[in-house]
Amino acid sequence: MRILLGALALAFALAAAAASIERYKAFLDGTQSARAQFEQKVYDRSGKLVQQSHGSFVFQRPGRFRWVYEKPADQVIVGDGQRVWIYDPQLNQVTVRKLATALGSTPAALLAGASGIEQAFALSDAGEKDGLEWMEARPREREAGFERVRLGFDAHGLQAMQLTDNFGQTTLLRFSKLERNPKVNPAEFRFAPPKGADVLGEK
């Protein structure tokens, strides 16, 4: 009887794991582009809320996205298919990195649907919480800068993303008004450094 119950528990666990990972793969397969708003909360190791912001994003595969933080600190992150640009208006500073370097093992790769996802991340089921099915992705590279990323899905698709960095800090993003496969303007994925801005990194 114990063996039977153990076998049934294993079967259910495998089914759950398959369900969350399949939801993610179905999202990738059925979503060539997307647009949404987000709310972001950052918690320290003890669970204390230390930062809160909101903004919007749009992406189009492969490797094109625009992520905009509106409040409290403005910041724009643009992937143009070749490079990733991070612009801080307050500092008038731009950081640029090659796309392959920036997306190899980053959370953005999970949304942008870069090739080789399972080569860069170890995917597993993270169970159900807050009405969502969670998939966990752990970077295979030790120098990724974060410990794990979790994506939360429901019947309507992607609803949340949770990032835990190597210092125990957790960033939780909740998505709203998610629109799958909208028409997007290619200009949204182009970025030209503002006149006078300091440009750092790989040009």
pLDDT in tens, 95-152: 998 877 666 556 666 777 666 677 778 889 898 898 899 999 888 877 667 888 899 9
Euclidean distance between CA atoms 136 and 149, whole angstroms = 6
pLDDT at residue 18 in the model: 55
Residue 166 tokens, joined: 């190597």
Question: For residue 150, what are the contacts with CB-CB under 8 A and spacing of at least 6?
Answer: 126, 134, 135, 136, 137, 161, 162, 163
Mean pLDDT confidence for 172-176: 92
pLDDT, greater one: 15 or 79? 79
pLDDT at residue 165 in the model: 87
pLDDT at residue 24 in the model: 85
Share of the chain above pLDDT 90, in %: 33
H or E segment at 6? helix 2-30
Our count of domains for the chain comes to 1
Euclidean distance between CA atoms 89 and 94, whole angstroms = 9
Mean pLDDT confidence for 178-184: 92
pLDDT, greater one: 8 or 28? 28
Q: Is the pLDDT of residue 54 over 70?
A: yes
Mean pLDDT confidence for 59-66: 87
Query: Do the bridges between strand 198-201 and strand 93-98 make them parallel or antiparallel, or are there none, so unpaired?
Result: parallel
pLDDT, greater one: 11 or 190? 190
pLDDT at residue 189 in the model: 93
Mean pLDDT confidence for 173-189: 93
Question: For residue 89, what are the contacts with CB-CB under 8 A and spacing of at least 6?
Answer: 74, 75, 76
CATH number of the domain that residue 177 is part of: 2.50.20.10
Q: For the stretch 159-172, what's the b/e string if a residue is b when 16 or more beta carbons lie within 10 angstroms of its beta carbon? A: bbbbbbeeeebbbb
Q: Is the pLDDT of residue 1 over 70?
A: no
The domain in which residue 72 lies consists of 2-201
C-beta pairs of 87-93 under 8 Å, 24+ apart in sequence: 87/191, 87/193, 87/194, 87/197, 91/198, 92/194, 92/196, 92/197, 92/198, 93/197, 93/198, 93/199, 93/200
Euclidean distance between CA atoms 83 and 8, whole angstroms = 48
Q: Is the pLDDT of residue 10 over 70?
A: no
Q: Are 156 and 169 within 8 A, CB to CB? A: no
Q: Is the pLDDT of residue 2 over 80?
A: no
Mean pLDDT confidence for 71-91: 86
Share of the chain above pLDDT 70, in %: 82
